[in-house]
Amino acid sequence: MERRDVLRLTAGAAGGVGAVTLAPLAFAAPPGQDAETRSLRGELPPGAPDFVYLPVQVPRGVRELTVAYRYDRPEVPPGTPGNALDIGVLDERGTGSDAFRGWSGGFRDTFTISAERATPGYLPGPVGAGTWHVVLGPYTVAPQGLRYEVAVTLRYGRRGRTPEPVYPPERARGRGRAWYRGDCHLHTVHSDGQRTPAEVAEAARAAGLDFIVSTEHNTTSAHAAWQGLWGEDLLILCGEEVTTRNGHYLALGTDPGTFVDWRYRARDEAFHRHAARVRRAGGLVVPAHP
């Protein structure tokens, strides 16, 4: 089954708006059906809001949620930004930071979440009943506009068991007072990197590094992905590259599982509040790029 809708925002209506919410995709667990898909088509104009929220009404009895999306990429003149559409998801707890369940930006076109496992960039856990929100982030929109389609599939059945996350230890033996070499800004397949955590740890040891910091774009999913990869010769710290619309900064050495929201611009004067959250979690705030 499929539900289609079209969202057209005029540039005037979008001006000064940080986010809009679409009409919800409604599901009702049908008797004897293992899976159900709903889809939506929309169009965003140049000057679209930073975030578009698609509510998904999830009934009881769901064991797995899958989201797939696509969008057009028309040709544009040299020097003109083309279409780039990010994606993530918030669970039934609302649209605040506490509801975060994952973000892949523009690096994946599909993701799946269940109690047992999740696509890199996303957090495993029960697919609870209530209103979830697929988050679309039009990073740039071509002059022709951006046409997109989102398909949400729910699979019904008994939930599995969510594994307890295992985070890296806070200490390694070290060499006492000495110079230590490390990499404070790296990515794996949990955001836009090409290597797995195991491959990154192997490369760090080959390079003679003493420590590395996990700094994925706008997600904490890699914090629990390093089990068995640390050791007395390699300290692995948790963090995040907070990728806002107006710049990137690193949250370095935060408590494992600490998520720092990125949904704001400089004009919102929210940076100080999020920087304070990093410091409360034991971390440092460092610019990510010149």
Domains of the chain: 11-156 (2.60.120.380), 182-287 (3.20.20.140)
DSSP character for 123? -
Q: What is the pLDDT of residues 48-78, one digit of tens each?
A: 999 999 999 999 999 999 999 999 999 999 9
Q: What is the pLDDT of residues 87-124, one digit of tens each?
A: 999 999 999 999 999 999 999 999 999 999 999 999 99
* CA gap 200, 193 in Å, rounded: 10
Task: Write the burial class of residue 37 (CB in 10 Å: 0-12 exposed, 13-18 middle, 19+ buried).
Answer: middle
* In the predicted structure, residue 149 carries a pLDDT above the cut 70: yes
Please name the residues in contact with 83: beta carbons below 8 A apart, sequence gap of 6 or more. 71, 72, 73, 74, 138, 140, 141, 142, 146
User: Looking at the whole model, is its pTM more than 0.85?
Assistant: yes
DSSP character for 133? E
**What's the pLDDT band for 142 if we cut at 50, 70, 90?**
very high
**What's the pLDDT band for 33 if we cut at 50, 70, 90?**
confident
Provide the H-helix boundaries in 95-228: 197-206
For residue 234, the model assigns a pLDDT of 97
Q: What is the pLDDT of residues 179-195, one digit of tens each?
A: 999 999 999 999 999 99
Q: What is the mean pLDDT of residues 216-227?
A: 98
* CA gap 46, 9 in Å, rounded: 9
Q: What is the average pLDDT score of the chain? A: 92
